[in-house]
A = this chain, B = another copy of it.
Amino acid sequence: MSIDPASSTPVFQQIVDHLQRLIASGVFRPGELIPSVRSLALELRVNPNTVQRAYQALERDGVVAARKGVGMVVTDGAAASARDHAHASVLDSFRSGIRSGRAAAMSDHHIRNTFQQALIEPDSESPP
């Protein structure tokens, strides 16, 4: 997991999105603890306040719950809700790309090819 401090997406939002995906994918399961604010802050090289803010957003969304003296626990319905969250966010990205392409007069054929290219490429990671 990596954060892009230069992105226009706020860092706390990047953290929220990432945890939603980890829950959707089953890395964190209902009843389990997510990392403590401090440990995640250290790992992401981010201020603890920022992680705190992300955790509060997740709590508001009902995917985690605070247990005093213990930590943040993944709630029971979280997996399904996180999957919905992830699906919606994927759909949003695709819609936004399609809208951009059409506005630039790209054909649907061209747009679909561009998607296929992105799906196939070996490594969508960070090529510095």
Contacts and interface: CB of A to CB of B under 8 A. Distances in A.
- Chain A interface, DSSP helix/strand/loop, else mixed: helix
A26 interface: yes
12 contacts: A8-B13, A21-B103, A21-B104, A26-B105, A82-B104, A86-B100, A87-B101, A93-B96, A95-B118, A98-B119, A99-B124, A108-B119
Contacts of A100: 17, 21, 86, 89-90, 93
A112 interface: yes
A95 to B, nearest CB: 5
Count of chain copies: 4
Interface of A: 5, 8-11, 13, 17-18, 20-22, 24-26, 47, 67-69, 82-83, 86-87, 89-106, 108, 111-112, 114-115, 117-119, 121, 124, 127
